[in-house]
Every structure is written in structure tokens, then in C-alpha cells.
Amino acid sequence: MNLEPGNDLDIVDVFRKTRSVAVVGMSADPTKPSHGVGKYLAEYYDIYPVNPDYQEILGYPCYPSIGAIVEPIDVINIFQRSDRIGLFVEETKAKQPTVFWMQLGIYNAQARASLEGAGIMVVENKCTKIEHARLHRTGLL
């Protein structure tokens, strides 16, 4: 399922059912969007930073890959260029999250088709922090 603008009920459902989020490409640099989004999400969910360049981010252990996370993951939140998304498809399928969420400006039709074919919901070009905060302000969350 590819969430389109206006599908607030689908997005609300995702956020309500989510308990854990892997933030792929999360940075320890507080000036980077991935850092701010991960920090925001940590207020609501268990987060699992994924970045082979760090041991820890915000006091959370940092994983070198999606596959290195032992715990179940509900949402895989991707901060990577669109042309790199394919690198995460097989690991994501193996992990079987509910949602594969590509941040603002990130699209990949081949990855979307493959993941949806495996029963994983795909979100493209939306920021988890912006969407969550917006829906929280409206009272839907």
C-alpha cells in the first residue's frame, strides 16, 4: 500500500500500531534531519538507530544493519538517497516490518513493488516526524 496525501486514517493506524522504529541512516550530528527525527520518535516509540559509523546515538545502541537488530521492528524509517533504497530491500523483507517508510524526497518504484509484493506497506516522500506531529496536534493521535 502506498500512502498518498490525504490518507490520514491509514497513517494514524500505522502510528497507533507502531511500537518500534529502526531509523536507517540516523546520524549522531544534531544538525542532521535524521537525528532530529530519531530523537522525536524516541519520545513515542522504541527506536533502533542503524548506521555502521556509530556505536551509539542518543544513548541507544546503534546497529550496523537492519539484519543486526534482534528485536521485532514495526517501521523501518529510511534516510538514504533514492538510488540506494534497493540495498535495503532484502534485509527489510527478512525482517518483515509492517511499514517501510521513505523520508521526504525519497522514492523508489522497484523497491516499493518488491516490498509491497512481500506484504510490507510502503510510504514514500513523507516525514515521520512531520506526519506524527501534525496528526498529534489534530487529536487523531
Q: How much is the pLDDT for 6?
A: 47
* Cα–Cα distance for residue pair 139/6, rounded to 1 Å: 16
Where do the domains of the chain lie, and which CATH numbers do they carry? 22-110+126-138 (3.40.50.720)
- The length of the chain in residues reads 141
**Within 10 Å of residue 136's Cβ, how many Cβ atoms?**
13
Q: How much is the pLDDT for 9?
A: 82
Q: How much is the pLDDT for 7?
A: 74
Q: How much is the pLDDT for 5?
A: 42
- Give the three cell numbers for residue 56: 551509539
Amino acid identity, residue 81? R
Amino acid identity, residue 1? M
Cβ-Cβ contacts under 8 Å for 128 (sequence gap 6 or more):
21, 37, 41, 75, 77, 101, 103
Residue 76 has pLDDT above 80, yes or no: yes
- Give the three cell numbers for residue 27: 546520524
Helix (H, G, I), strand (E, B) or coil at 27: coil
Residue 74 has pLDDT above 80, yes or no: yes
- Give the three cell numbers for residue 33: 534531519
Question: Is the separation of the CB atoms in 86 and 100 below 8 Å?
Answer: no
DSSP 102: E
pLDDT digits 0-9 by tens, 3-52: 444 477 888 999 999 999 999 999 999 999 999 999 999 999 999 999 99
Q: What is the mean pLDDT of the segment spanning 64-91? A: 97
- Give the three cell numbers for residue 66: 537492519
CA angle 105, 79, 92 (to 5 degrees): 110
